[in-house]
Amino acid sequence: MKEQSLRFWVVAFAPALVLGLALARLVYLAFWAPEVVFGVQAREIRLEPRRGSILDRNGAVLAMDVPRYRLVLEYLPIAYGGDPRRREAWLNRIDEVLAPFLGFSLREAAAGWPDTWWQFPVARDLPEDVARGVARRVQEAGLRGVRVVPYWARMYPEGALLGPVVGFVVFRPDPEGVERRSGAVGVERAYERDLAGRPVVVRVPVDAEGRPLPLDEAALAEPEPGADIVLTLDRTLQAIVAEELARGLQESRAARGDAVVLNPRTGEILAMVSLPGFDPNHPETLPRDARNPAVQDLYEPGSVFKILTMAAALEAGVVRPESRYLDQGCVEFGGAPICNWDAARYPQGRGWLDMTELLVYSRNVGAAALARMLGPERFYPALHAFGIGERTDVDLPDEAVMRVRAYGDPDWREADMGRQSFGQAVSVTPLQMAVAVSAVANDGLIMRPFVVREVHTAEGVRRTEPQVRRRALSAATARALREMLAAVIEREAVKARVPGYRMAGKTGTAQIPTPFGYDPKGTIASFVGFGPVEDPQVLILVKIDRPQRSPWGSEEAAPVFARIAARILPLLRIRAGE
């Protein structure tokens, strides 16, 4: 009996040990370390959030995320085995069901599927209705290994109209090294943090075919969508400005140009156009330097800069509007000659002129005389007050700025000041020039320019309030200068006249610097103006690069300014004064 019992224990020991260990392992996996099982049979799913929309000031959609679908084939050896004939049969069956609906052969689309890949995308950019159709057919036919994977695509319904301002998105690695969409240019880049939203990474157990098994709440977590952004831009104004600028470029046979429209009272940018633009819907086709030239490209402004020199002189009290000076064809300044643009026609100048006439006839010699009267100690602080040589702090990325060679700098020469007084040897962006002149329109105050009016987050609405940057000149000086600039349009730059409105402005014809001196062939024709003079509510800057028909701002940029103003002032409900 005892011997029999011993035999029982000897025989039973091994199976009991195996069973006991298996049981212990099961208990361990079930209660102490379920993640071990998940590690083997789990999938990490990254759920991308919907990127916020970008809207114009009236709520029109300028950029939005739209659902698109990718059709992915998954050949699962566990389901079909490794037999190539079974794989062929499987592909044939898929093709039979889906090819008539999709209009192309999935077999052919999967021709380049490497053997080592278990998954292969055969179609992308499928819209919602097609994706639903595919999913329904897959379900009805009981197909396995066909997945319709949703993703977000960025869509810009207005196309190239707002490309440089709104920007576009590209795929690039985030700080964690994960490839994600992020803004590359414009508002898309400047407000990346608000627009992006927050993705969710969920680790869910899956069954043998890789389908998620929702076991806990974490698997149901959802990504946080990005904030919607409302711009100060009005797409209708933008379209008008783009249309008139395009017409200006065509008529003047110029290759490119820019236009900026802003509200000088608040700093709101109402339109910002650069032509030729680009279509953000196809970022893969864009050049690497796709950018917003109104903010990122510098140019020498030429005679429009005389507005600032005159403002500085009036503000300092060295002249009054009725002060007179003797206009000569050419003068010497710091050892360098300075000549009027029409010195060939008026070699002796136009004689005695008052300050309004200085602006009306755009006298380089007169501007240099003002700079001489101011002296560098007053001239450069005045330019600084207008924000020349510094960023405007606009809420757009990569704003360009160029140092102004100023009094006290080792490379400064007196001749520099003479040239700077009429807009040479100084570089600005179109936006910087517009903002500087806006001080004249806004009783001397410079506002911070901005393009984003509101950010709609889950927590609420964040509004951008108009912000005074500084006072560039007194209100009285600004008012006097406005009248002088109104005379420019009334007496000389007649092509800038706007029927029904009294406007003020100044032409500019700038030479284009090259590494070998100024380009003798091309100019930049520009016009900056605002109105109505009594209560300026809108400022427009037009810049046309290298016009071929006429080099002058008064001939090429002024009419574009007038046409833009004539169309947008009524839309802005600005009443005609005449």
Partner 1 sequence: MSPRRRLALAIAGGMLFGVAWILLFTFLSTAAVEQGQVVQRLSEARAALERENLAVREAIARESALPRLRERARALGFGEAEGVRPLLLSVPVSGPVEGPLP
200 makes contact with partner 1 (CB under 8 A): no
For residues 31 to 70, the per-residue mask of contacts with partner 1, x marking binding by CB under 8 A and - elsewhere, is: -------------------x---------xx--xxxx---
Distance, in Å, from the CA atom of 430 to the CA atom of 433, rounded to the nearest integer, reads: 5
Pick 69 or 299: Cβ nearer partner 1: 69
Interacting residues of 56 by C-beta distance below 8 A, sequence separation 6+: 62, 230, 231, 233, 234, 235, 238
Which residues share a beta bridge with 71? 123, 148
Under rule CB under 8 A, residue 128 binds partner 1: yes
Report the alpha-carbon distance of residue 225 to residue 220 in Å, rounded. 15
Of 129, 179, 459, 465, the residue at the interface with partner 1 (CB under 8 A) is: 129
Task: With CB under 8 A as the rule, give the number of residues binding partner 1.
Answer: 36
Rounded CA-CA distance 444/379 in Å is: 17
Burial of 518 (0-12, 13-18, 19+ CB in 10 A): middle
- Calpha distance 197→538 (Å, rounded): 35
Smallest gap from residue 528 Cβ to partner 1 (A): 23
Residue 375 interacting with partner 1 (CB under 8 A): no
Between 6 and 215, CB nearer to partner 1: 215
Q: Where are the beta strands (DSSP E) in 267-395?
A: 269-275, 324-327, 330-333, 336-339, 351-354
Q: Min. distance of Cβ 5 from partner 1 in angstroms?
A: 9
Fill in the DSSP letter of residue 175: T
Asked whether position 161 contacts partner 1 by CB under 8 A, the answer is yes
Cβ–Cβ under 8 Å, residues 394 and 431: yes
Q: 401 to 430, contacts with partner 1 by CB under 8 A?
A: none
- Please tell me the distance from the alpha carbon of residue 254 to that of residue 232, in angstroms, as a whole number: 29
Considering only residues 512-531, where is the footprint of partner 1 by CB under 8 A?
A: none
The region of 94-102, 154-162, 313-321, 408-416 touching partner 1 under the rule CB under 8 A is 154-162
Q: Does 6 bind partner 1 (CB under 8 A)?
A: no
The residue type at 383? L
In this complex, which beta carbon is closest to partner 1, that of residue 24 or of residue 89?
Answer: 24
Return the CA Rg of the chain. 34
Q: How far is the CB of 131 from partner 1 (least distance, A)?
A: 9
- Quote the CA–CA distance of 252 and 246 in Å, as a whole number: 10
**N- to C-terminal Cα separation, the chain:** 127
Look up residue 117 and give its two tokens: 């890949």
Q: Can you tell me which of 36, 215, 336, 476 binds partner 1, judged by CB under 8 A?
A: 215
Q: Smallest distance from the beta carbon of 9 to partner 1, in angstroms? A: 12
Stretch that binds partner 1, among 183-191, 206-214, 468-476, 539-547 (CB under 8 A): 206-214
Find all residues with CB under 8 Å of 276, minimum gap 6, and list them. 256
Residues 88-127, one symbol each (x = binds partner 1 by CB under 8 A, - = not), give ---------------------------------------x
Q: Does 220 bind partner 1 (CB under 8 A)?
A: yes
The answer to whether residue 150 forms part of the interface with partner 1 (CB under 8 A) is yes
**Cβ–Cβ contacts within 10 Å for residue 175, how many?**
6
User: Using an 8 Å Cβ cutoff, are 194 and 49 in contact?
Assistant: no
Distance CA 405, CA 412 (A): 6
* Residue from 77, 173, 214, 337 in contact with partner 1 (CB under 8 A): 214
Q: Is 343 in the site for partner 1 (CB under 8 A)?
A: no
Element holding 20 (H helix, E strand): helix 2-27
21 binds partner 1 (CB under 8 A): no
Q: Binding of partner 1 at residue 157 (CB under 8 A)? A: yes
Asked whether position 158 contacts partner 1 by CB under 8 A, the answer is yes
By CB under 8 A, is residue 210 in contact with partner 1?
no
Stretch that binds partner 1, among 93-101, 214-222, 249-257, 414-422 (CB under 8 A): 214-222
Contact mark string toward partner 1, 221..250, x via CB under 8 A: -x------------xx--x-----------
Determine contact, residues 134/102, Cβ cutoff 8 Å: yes
The owner of tokens 């071929």 is 548
Does residue 219 bind partner 1 (CB under 8 A)? Answer: yes
Q: By CB under 8 A, which span of 136-144, 157-165, 253-261, 303-311 interacts with partner 1?
A: 157-165
81 binds partner 1 (CB under 8 A): no
Residue nearer to partner 1 on the CB measure, 219 or 339: 219
Of 522, 530, 523, residue with least CA distance to 506: 530
Ranges within 480-499 binding partner 1 (CB under 8 A): 499
CB of 248 to partner 1, least distance (A): 15
In sequence order, the 6+-apart residues with CB closer than 8 A to the CB of 124 are 68, 69, 70, 71
Residue 276 contacts partner 1 per CB under 8 A: no
How far apart CA 244 and CA 550 sit, in angstroms, is 17
Alpha helices in 103-234 (DSSP H): 106-109, 128-141, 163-166, 186-190, 192-196
List residues binding partner 1 (CB under 8 A): 23, 30, 50, 60-61, 64-67, 127-129, 150, 155, 157-159, 161, 212-216, 219-220, 222, 235-236, 239, 499-500, 566-567, 570, 576, 578
